[in-house]
Amino acid sequence: MQAASRARERRQPLPFECLTYERKDKTCYLTLNRPDKLNALNAQLMAELREALDIIELDQEIRVVILTGAGRAFSAGFDLDKDSGGAPPQGEDPDVRRRHLQSHIDTFMMVWNLSKPVIAAVNGFALAGACELVQICDIKIASDRAVLGEPEIRAGVGLPLLITPFSIGLARSKELLLTGDTIDAHEAARLGMVSRVVPHDNLMAECEKIAKKICLLFPVGVNMTKVSVNRALEGMGFLSAISNNLELMIHFDISSEPEQDEFNKISDKQGLKAALNWRDARFKDL
């Protein structure tokens, strides 16, 4: 009777457009599904991710989540197209930008605070905000084709979530964040950004193997262990770092620099792809 009651109370997922939601036994699969845009995080995808996480939290039969991306990328990060709602709005006052960035932070923190473990199956590019999404997950398994990094600084935008120093330490996080460099999966594993690297064709099987182990454990014990580990990081200042970083990033986003102005000018006249090509061409010989 209780199981039947829980089944009736379970919220059913809406027909998502930018996210696929699939349940298999006690495992929920979430797939970022904008492959033509390398699963860039726009406003709709972020809203659908929040809705999916709400559903998962309420469904007592789900024990673990596997998060991945469709196509050749986990995600290229926040969609910088002006109409996407992914990037902070240009020319707005600080309060508008604060609300925009806070919304992204709140979505990522839903993964952090979810009562079930989230496994990131990093199937390809995981850049910028998506690299932070990977790091906020509980277990991170990368394909040998994966590329990770946070190149936001090259586009003149800030980081929504300052988790990288807590993942890989001060020295390497400063190097990556101050240069915008990317790293391959093996280097990410060596630094501790991901747990380990597996052959691309074995990625989902490896994540499912981990998920099956978790499903055999007592849910309360799993949840309390996740909470305890998270609280340890929070005790080291993680939440304060997020709060302080938000204010710094608002200042960063409303500032004007020649390089940022040129990037925006090219994006307006020739499109985002041309602006990204201009950005990356400046670093090709370095």
128-167 per-residue burial string, b: 16 or more CB within 10 A, e: under 16: bbbbbbbbbbbbbbbbebbbbbbbbbbbbbbbbbbbbbbb
Q: Which two tokens stand for residue 246?
A: 């938000």
Q: Which residues are catalytic?
A: 132, 152
Distance CA 103, CA 84 (A): 14
Q: Which pLDDT value is given to residue 152?
A: 82
pLDDT of residue 274: 74
The pLDDT value given to residue 281: 75
pLDDT value, residue 68: 99
Pick the closest to residue 242 from 83, 89, 113 (CA basis): 113
Span 2-255: which CATH code? 3.90.226.10
Which pLDDT score, from 0 to 100, does residue 251 have? 72
The pair of structure tokens assigned to 102 is 């806070």
Position 7 scores a pLDDT of: 43
How many CB atoms lie under 10 A from the CB of residue 284? Answer: 6
Low-confidence ranges of the chain (pLDDT < 50): 1-8, 85-86
SS3 64: strand
As a whole number, the mean pLDDT across the chain is 87
Q: What is the pLDDT of residues 179-218, one digit of tens each?
A: 999 999 999 999 999 999 999 999 999 999 999 999 999 9
Tokens 């926040």 locate to 78
pLDDT of residue 4: 42
> What's the pLDDT at 259?
66
Cα 240 to Cα 17, 147, 245, distances in angstroms? 35, 29, 8
> pLDDT value at position 5?
45
